[in-house]
Amino acid sequence: MQVALNKSGHYLSLVSVFNFKMVAAAIAKTQWSLTPSLRVAAFSHRNKIGQPVLVDADLKTKLCKHGETSSTIRTWLQLEAQARAEGKDPPSRGTSKCDCRSTHGLQNHTDTVPVAPPTCVYDVLASSGAEKITVPGVQEPAYRLGERDAFLSVNGDVFCGAHRNKLPPLTRALRPRAFKAERGKCGCCLILPGRVSTIPLGCIVASNAA
């Protein structure tokens, strides 16, 4: 059988090379999207049982269709198995939509190169046809942040869906997770998963400083 060399110098069969080219062609046509876990991801490949595997914006981390990593799913499965062994109800997976029972394909370390990663979550929402609204003082529309009752503006500000009030972050973190309306406003709040993508929420605005 004829063979080829990959970037690491390892031999690949022509079948593997063909499959890789087919996957690369599919990836090139893939759009970036926001997963239920609020990670930004694109299609990477299908696992051995035909389920889609996604790749994070870092182009390395593999995710299930719900946007969860192998380590997160394995932890859930271990805790659930332990609970069953002790005759207890399985623990909740929190707000995650993930119901995966295996991690097939998520340990795949093959480099995948979809279209260029987005620079921010806002761009992904804008290109994916997410629901949009107008908010006071902002020219560009704000887009619904996944299935949350909140909308994201172009500069990264978050607004509640019910009252369209701004929800300032509760910390000064580069990628904040907790947002809450100011005192005297509606009282709405938003908590993002700790495992969301690390790319900025809003577009990066260049400084006008000289």
Q: CA-CA-CA-CA torsion for 46, 13, 25, 146, nearest 10 degrees?
A: 30
Print burial letters for 46-59: b (CB count within 10 Å at least 16), e (below 16).
ebeeeeebbbbbee
Question: pLDDT (tens digit, 9 = 90+) per residue, 35-89?
Answer: 999 899 999 888 888 899 999 988 888 999 999 999 999 999 999 999 999 999 9
Helix (H, G, I), strand (E, B) or coil at 186: coil
Confidence of residue 161 (pLDDT cuts 50, 70, 90): very high
Asked if residues 161 and 167 have their Cβ atoms less than 8 Å apart, the reply is no
Short-list 130, 135, 122, CA closest to 164: 135
Delimit the domains of the chain by residue range. 3-85, 118-210
Question: pLDDT (tens digit, 9 = 90+) per residue, 22-37?
Answer: 444 444 446 899 999 9
